[in-house]
Amino acid sequence: MTLRFWPNIRQYATHGDLLGRPRPGARRTPSTPLHAIIVPASRDAENLGHAAKLASDAGCRLVVLCSLDAKAAAVADRLAWMDPGQAVVIDVHPGYSHPLLQFETSKMSRESLPKGCTNPNGDLSIKRNLGLLLARMAGWERIFFMDDDIWKLESEDLAATVSMLDRYRIAGLRVDEFPDNSVVCHARRKIKDQQDVFVTGSVLGVNCEYPVSFFPEIYNEDWFFFYDEVRARRVGCSQRYAKQLEYDPFANPRRARKQEFGDVLAEGLYALIHKEAGYEEATWEYWVSFIAARRKLIDDIKTQSLKLPDRGNMIRALESAIACLMKIQPRVCESYVRAWRHDVDMWWKRLTDVSSTGSVEAALAELGLTRVTSDDAVTRGLRPAAMSGLRPTGGDHDQLPARARPCVVLARQAQPAFRDVFPAMALPVGMEQSRFSFPLRGRR
């Protein structure tokens, strides 16, 4: 076998040249309406105000998939002011599983990765994949993923981004305040080296008329999701902006360690795209070269950081990343890429076999989800029974009929073997989260 060595391989500071841009004079409204904004929520209900306002303005559904601090009953109570049936709130319990969501990469993440170098995103991937399945089953053509740490996205910017789905299969925005980067990339920016931001699953439009990939349980899961479309130049960036809640990326060194495996794989695969090569070239000898380049990059950042004041946490985070990097074997990288491509093929076949149910209710039944009314907030003591149906902000719509309340969907508990699969999601720290009023209002 002839080995190909990569002496000039490196981690790129920007991947912006891989993205399409709006054409001058292009329309700013989509030809096909947006069907749903899908929010994989982990924070409390007050963080859903902005997404709810956007969905109301766009006249589309708001799908909220809840876990951790996001409680479905509380979210449904907060969204009771929305139009009947507009909000679908789903409580995804720990250990939820479904045959359509079984992947080799998930098993590999749990069993084959170095200790401590695991998926840091909890159940984020499974919730986004549920959103894709709901869209497929319900017949939604255009959806928009939006994380609950996105706190400023204007309706016109959303419309301009979704309009790019007329030309591209996936379209996103720039999240550069607070920058959506890994810990290592934040450190690179901190030393004043060039470091761009890429499109992100935090604010991402998807054209579901075409086959789409899935979100694996790994850091940079969004980069894997749109990898094939980026390689085919079918991902656009509207050059519009959204803001993400700020946090201290260096506060917890374990964040860098948990990100490292996914960051190495994603940056390595995208470096190949720049070289006009694909995942087929991501063999063990390639990973030998790329891991060496990654180590040099982190060492250089660490050296430069010695000139900075208050560098202690940053250096500890970089050392944590290095500790994980030293455990990553090129063969494991090669095996993961092979498993990922197998999963992509299987996912496409599953989507082909999934029939359109034509309704959200039927789709939920197919996914093993159970509907409950928002009156569950009363039974759980989240608000007094006398307040049932009240609009959270009062005003002219104090009393809402029961039919106007969004449903709450509780995912059935999975078998015990699947419990405790997903670690707790690391939440942003170092900044008080913004609170939003409902329904009007003047990030990962």
pLDDT digits (tens, 9 = 90+) for 72-130: 989 999 998 988 889 999 988 888 999 999 999 999 988 888 777 778 889 999 999 99
Does a structural domain hold residue 80?
A: no
pTM to 2 decimal places: 0.85
- Pick out the chain residues at pLDDT < 50: 1, 372-373, 378, 384-405, 407, 411-444
Task: Of 441, 419, 388, give the one whose Cα is nearest residue 73.
Answer: 388
Does a structural domain hold residue 183?
A: yes
Does a structural domain hold residue 342?
A: yes
Structure tokens that stand for 339 in this block: 């498993």
Does a structural domain hold residue 432?
A: no
pLDDT at 275: 94
Q: Other CB atoms closer than 10 Å to residue 353's CB: what's the count?
A: 8
Range of the domain at 219: 16-30+97-353
**Cα separation values, 116 from 122, 133, 330, Å:** 14, 30, 17
Does a structural domain hold residue 7?
A: no
How many domains would you assign to the chain?
A: 1
- Give the whole-angstrom CA distance, residue 45 versus residue 248: 23
Query: Beta strand pairing status for 407-411 and 36-41?
Result: unpaired
Does a structural domain hold residue 361?
A: no
Task: Of 266, 150, 140, 142, give the one whose Cα is nearest residue 203.
Answer: 150
Does a structural domain hold residue 105?
A: yes
Does a structural domain hold residue 244?
A: yes
pLDDT at 105: 96
